[in-house]
């Protein structure tokens, strides 16, 4: 290889290296800008916007705050499964009421939706409010032996409230419902929650 060819080759390698460095720096800058925007939104606790097409239509799910997308339909099916497999009437509700406490909101919603009044085992409400960054799990009297106020309060505070204003709120609710389902089975096995014969003989309970 001649010295001229070697110089040209080295120059090409240098130019390619500079081009890669410029592109990487540009991508890093764009990424930092996106991260900063997300951080700013999180700092202001602004809920992620959704379109009217994202509205969840299910008897047991009321996503007024529009934070359950795209998990709303799945949450509806999970709520139906609770009723079919365990006799528990589960409702998932989101609200934007900033003028009252999450406790008063959950009491009102539980009463207005008549949660658990016709369910064989009882009723359960999961409510999130991004306007006040709060969440609560309200359970009917028949479930309190296995799903205690202390336990439900901790789960709502640690696993629901921190995500009330973000696009993963629906996923957080899904995870909590999975946990509550397992907890009901465990409590039933320990005798803390009474399940009807039709639910104790089911294939899901046997597992």
Per-residue pLDDT tens digits for 182-194: 999 999 999 999 9
Asked if residue 133 has pLDDT above 90, the reply is: yes
Percent of the chain with pLDDT over 70: 70
Q: If you average pLDDT over each of 38-42, 49-53, 103-107, which comes out highest?
A: 103-107
Is the pLDDT reported for residue 39 higher than 50?
no
Q: Retrieve residue 106's tokens.
A: 């959950």
pTM of the model: 0.72
Q: What is the pLDDT of residue 35?
A: 39
């Amino acid at each position: 290889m001649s010295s001229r060819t070697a110089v040209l080759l080295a120059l090409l390698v240098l130019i390619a290296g500079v081009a890669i460095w410029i592109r990487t720096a540009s991508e890093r800058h764009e990424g930092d800008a996106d991260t900063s925007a997300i951080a700013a939104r999180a700092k202001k606790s602004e809920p992620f916007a959704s379109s009217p097409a994202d509205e969840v239509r299910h008897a047991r799910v009321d996503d007024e705050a529009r934070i359950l997308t795209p998990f709303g339909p799945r949450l509806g099916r999970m709520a139906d499964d609770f009723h079919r497999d365990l006799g528990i009437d589960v409702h998932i509700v989101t609200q934007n009421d900033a003028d009252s406490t999450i406790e008063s909101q959950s009491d009102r919603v539980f009463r207005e939706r008549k949660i658990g009044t016709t369910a064989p085992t009882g009723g359960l409400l999961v409510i999130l409010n991004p306007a006040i960054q709060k969440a609560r799990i309200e359970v009917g009297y028949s479930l309190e032996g296995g799903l205690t106020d202390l336990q439900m309060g901790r789960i709502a505070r640690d696993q629901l409230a921190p995500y009330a204003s973000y696009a993963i709120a629906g996923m957080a609710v899904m995870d909590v419902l999975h946990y509550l389902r397992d907890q009901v089975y465990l409590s039933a096995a320990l005798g803390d929650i009474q399940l009807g014969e039709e639910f104790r003989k089911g294939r899901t309970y046997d597992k």
